Amino acid sequence: MLTAGPEDDGGNEVGESSGAYIVRIPFGPRDKYIRKELLWPYIQEFVDGALTHILNMSKALGEQIGGGQPVWPYVIHGHYADAGDSAALLSGALNVPMKGEELSLDAAELVITSTRQEIDEQWGLYDGFDVKLERVLRARARRGVNCHGRYMPRMVVIPPGMDFSSVVVQEEAPEVDGELATLISSVDDSSPKAIPAIWSEVMRFLTNPHKPMILALSRPDPKKNITTLLKAFGECRPLRELANLTLIMGNRDDIDGMTGGNASVLTTMLKMIDKYDLYGLVAYPKHHRQADVPEIYRLAAKTKGVFINPALVEPFGLTLIEAAAHGLPMVATKNGGPVDIHRALNNGLLVDPHDQQAIADALLKLVSEKNLWSDCRNNGWKNIHLFSWPEHCRTYLTRVAACRMRHPQWQTDTPEDEIAAEESSLNDSLKDVQDMSLRLSIDGDKPSLNGSLDYSAAAAGNPTVSDQVQRVLNKIKKPEPGPVVSEGGKHEVVVSKHPMLRRRRRLIVIALDCYDSNGVPEKKMIQIVQDIMKVVRSDSLFAKVAGLALSTAMSLTETTEFLTSSKIQVKEFDALICSSGGEVYYPGTYTEEGAPSKKIKNRAIPIALHTFVKDRSKVKRVDDLRQKLRMRGLRCHIMYCRNSTRLQIIPLLASRAQALRYLFVRWRLNVADMFVILGENGDTDYEEMISGAHKTVILKDVVTKGSEDLLRTTDLRDDIVPKNSPLIAYLSGNATASDIAGVLKQVSKASGRM
């Protein structure tokens, strides 16, 4: 996409990039290179950096073409595991559809594969996808039948696109054989007519280079099945008499210096050539350049040869496309991508790669039947456009355009005096969180990603389902807009149209999971909260510019009761992140006279479900529960919390870590300006809170028991959490307010020197 097209030379304003750009987001260690597999601890830091870039671009584009409103991404594409994970987090933070490849099945609305065989035979191996269930759910959805909340991402086949601009098509002509004879004879008589050097390198192996060439091009890997091809060629006398075999198997200097598998294949090849006395019939050059590959195809086509891919399984088969573009019919394995290629091009034969006789028969048929050979070549040329880069882009964009467009539904830059009080109320703060759908519903309909759930369809169902729906609706029914009434019956007055977060430059997030064996907050948590509040009020670095947020697994009611019982006013906090990130509230938006917990509760929409764990010794780990739910098409975020006393289920893309990104997107308070205070242990979402662009302070000996042992069977924290990051600082649990202020300043300065 970054290659300039010929139209750019005519003064096209788009420029050499054709509207596409590569933007590099710094993350992870700056002083050393680490390979891709070790980047996992820094993925969340990348996400925060990418989010900053996206928000800046959305604002800039909004000023230029959006009438002052942000221009959001249409889609986020995640490619492979770590990129898929990043795309899922960005999709949740921005409420933008995600397209995935291979992984990130839960968050993806659309999953792209290269072949139909991937869907039919490979995807069933993943614990997040069931081929049969996906087909059943898709069929039910098309008929308008209840799916009972189950969901599988749509699988679409979009083959890779190729650039054919450098391919020289050789039209069939009677003099082709004569031309080839002239070119070949020039190798020996030093004719001034030049031929490609790679032709000479190949033909020096062959006694009669005029014969049709059977061409195989692959690595010397056992999975490529070259030895079976050699055996089929060596044991079929008619094939040996009619054709030569050319094996292009990478580059080599000394077989003894190659890896075990490759060396074994090459050694076996040489032994088989000797066994079947194939000298003069098989070419196997040691070296070739990438630029030589088109010339190799061209030589095979001039001899009216055949390209073969006998791999045991071929994920796609780009070489088959290249060969077809150069006019070569194909013989290919029936396992994998060649099936789709053959269906589109109809330019050859498919064989069982384990059947040596079938391979020999297919090759003999193509090289001996000239009419069949010509038909296959012409079919390949006629249909090759289906695998072109423009066709790939058209198909991709068509699929993307069919997705439901969604984006954040607020106007971030609307002037304060133009916003009605009810539009910026506490109730409105939940509307956007609700977009991060749990993807399961009592009535079975997949909720709209553009708004609230619609239960009207379920009301027409059977009485049992309707009763269940009504019970849920009674609990989650959204109250009508109107004034908040206190216990005394007086109307409360909204005193601030916007949460103070809009004016904050820093945010200190208290995310300590200090609970006793019953899941009740411990007293030491109160002292730490009070010390942090003292820092925010008195320290010059944080006073007036820093806000406070409490991030907890408790519900809103439990959180407010905890604070009021500790003589801490709820309005001291700019945000309350409750139910493990399933709920976000702005208590400072309202007056706090009377019973603030009840008033806030009256304005709240609960979107998280809770259940108590009765016997901790019998509960399943998060990984096991998630697998069982995923295989049934139920997508959600599961976690154990509050000292393993509760199992919490919240929307798929909701979490305490994602709530910080939500605040960034909603109020433009950069995650990099947030300070997250944690213990050494915590709920099963604890690891997600450590890494990222925010500064992290870990208090030692504060949280003695967490829930991490119920996360998975093995301890993989070192693979997920960065070790010696300048963004992370440690502090003793008995630290004073001044100690806390000091470590906050320390981690702020250290991160600035990265």
Number of structural domains found in the chain: 3
What's the rounded Cα separation, in Å, for the pair 337 and 339?
A: 5
Out of 393, 421, 445, a domain closes at 393
Q: How many CA atoms lie within 13 A of 735 on its CB side?
A: 25
Span 562-566, average pLDDT: 93
Q: What is the pLDDT of residues 287-317, one digit of tens each?
A: 999 999 999 999 999 999 999 999 999 988 9
Q: What is the mean pLDDT of the chain?
A: 79
pLDDT attached to residue 293: 94
146 & 258 share domain: no
Domain endpoint, select from 109, 131, 157:
157
The arithmetic mean of pLDDT across residues 114-133, rounded, is 75
Within 425-498, residue ranges assigned H as helices are 456-459, 463-476
pLDDT single digits (tens) 612-638: 656 767 788 888 888 888 888 888 889
Give me the mean pLDDT over the 321-349 stretch. Answer: 95
Q: Calculate the alpha carbon distances from 410 to 2, 69, 92, 421, 634 in Å.
A: 34, 10, 16, 14, 29
Stretch 270-279: mean pLDDT, rounded?
96
pLDDT digits (tens, 9 = 90+) for 27-78: 988 888 888 888 888 999 999 999 999 999 999 999 998 888 888 898 898 8
**Concatenated DSSP letters of 657-691:** HHHHHHHHHHH---GGGEEEEEESS-STTHHHHHS
Same domain, 584 and 724: yes
Using one digit for the tens of pLDDT, what is the confidence trace for 150-171? 877 788 888 888 888 777 666 5
Higher pLDDT: 476 or 85? It is 85
Query: What is the structure's pLDDT at 411?
Result: 53
For the cut 70, the answer to whether the pLDDT of residue 127 exceeds it is no
pLDDT band for 462, please (50, 70, 90 cuts).
very low
Query: 27 lies in a domain?
Result: no
What pLDDT, on the 0 to 100 scale, is given for residue 453?
31
- Considering the domain architecture, whether residues 304 and 379 belong to the same structural domain is answered as yes
| CA angle, 416 then 421 then 424, to 5° | 70
Distance CA 268, CA 274 (A): 10
Q: What is the pLDDT of residues 569-612, one digit of tens each?
A: 998 999 999 999 999 998 866 433 333 333 344 444 455 555 66
Window from 15-19, 496-500, 548-552 with minimum mean pLDDT: 15-19
Residue 249 domain-assigned?
A: yes
Percent of the chain with pLDDT over 90: 40
- The residue segments making up the domain with residue 569 are 496-752
Contact 111, 101 (CB under 8 A): yes
d(CA 616, CA 618) in angstroms, rounded, equals 5
The answer to whether residues 703 and 736 touch, using CB atoms and an 8 Å cutoff, is: no
Which structure tokens are listed for 611? 């259940």
Residue 256's H or E segment, with its range, is none
Q: In this structure, are 512 and 661 located in the same domain?
A: yes
| 613 and 699 part of one domain | yes
pLDDT score recorded for residue 238 = 97
| Whether residue 223 sits in one domain with residue 82 | no
pLDDT tens-digit readout, 510-536:
999 999 988 999 999 999 999 999 888
Q: Model confidence over 409-451: pLDDT tens digits?
A: 655 444 443 433 333 333 333 333 333 333 333 333 333 333 3
pLDDT of 177: 52
Highest mean pLDDT among 344-358, 631-645, 655-669: 344-358
Question: Domain end: 393, 427, 448, which one?
Answer: 393
Dig out the tokens for 48 from the structure: 């925060």
Does the predicted TM-score (pTM) go above 0.85?
A: no
If you average pLDDT over residues 338-357, what whole number do you get? 96
Q: Which helix (H) or strand (E) holds 646?
A: strand 646-650
* Mean pLDDT across 630-649: 87
- Based on the domain organization, do 505 and 382 belong to the same domain? no
Alpha carbon distances (Å) from 411 to 32, 68, 259, 428, 572: 41, 10, 59, 12, 26
Q: Are residues 251 and 134 in the same domain?
A: no
Output the domain CATH number for residue 218: 3.40.50.2000
The yes-or-no verdict on residue 366 having pLDDT over 80 is yes
Region of poorest pLDDT, from 110-119, 133-142, 178-187, 207-216: 178-187
Residue 538 sits in a domain whose CATH number is: 3.40.50.1000
Note the pLDDT of residue 448.
35
